[in-house]
Structure 1
Amino acid sequence: MSATSPDPALPPGLHALSASEEAVMRAFGRILLVLPRAMNADLEAEQRMSLSEYSVLRHLSESPHGRMRMSELAQACDMSLSGMTRLAAKLETLGFVKRVKCDEDARGWNAVLTDKGLARLREAWPAHLGSVRRHIFDHLGDLDLDALARTLNKIAGDS
């Protein structure tokens, strides 16, 4: 059922979307699927690196001492802990990350960015930047980017 279809069973105060609202909702849903795939394809083609791998290295590079708890890193990258564990193991075999026990919690593990991982991130950054510009900013024209960022963060629940 379309969100624009009138439905007499709607609760009071809730009304169907306008055609414009429906178009925005559908475009937003499509971009959530298409954009990550396109950016991943660019990184794979240009750098033989997945967007997930890039994201891990980027988050670690931005964290204090290049270190994050595996659970926090998984959350930051929007991955399950088991998925992050597999990806970190791959990055560890490549020498980009090392996993070490948490000092404050013997059950936990930290992912630590290595010098080789930081160098790899720096190598991949221009390809990622080009992809971001091509797929996002080249299409935004004169939009107020600060207002757009605030709105997107509200939608994401960050207020």
Structure 2
Amino acid sequence: SIPLLLPDGSGFPARYELVFLAAGVILFSLFVGVIMLPLLLQHLEVADHAQQLKEERIARAATAEVAIVAIQKMEERLAADTEENIDNQLLTEVSSRVIGNLRRRADGRNDVESSIQEENLERRFRLAALRSERAELYHLRATREISNETLQKLLHDLDLMEALLIENQ
């Protein structure tokens, strides 16, 4: 809005030129938006979203299968290794859990949002378990079932695990 008159009663200088320029800018913007943009964008190729999703599924399935084979080989190697001395049941349980996660991700049943939710839920369960273990350690020390040195060592281990879980939040 441009005033018609100045406070002294004289006409606003170059008012009609300003109105003309403002109208010109508005018309030019409309011209560019309605006529020029469609002409410029007609040769632009838009990627097919369905094709991209299909490629992602194929790539995830392929990488998951390779990872599963690598995990199975590692499981076999660790089971045969006598120096590692890993419990076979523990080895099978951990590898099965990792393979299950890989298969869910490859099938597309494990999107980013649910993965984050799953990690947060697992972290909360682990922290609750650590707090319970800590309380039980204090109880065992209070009833003199463990020594102070044992308490300190086990509390230190729990502190390290808790710090690792909290750091990853």
TM-score by length of 1: 0.24
- Which protein has the bigger helix share? 2
- Which protein has the bigger strand share? 1
TM-score by length of 2: 0.23
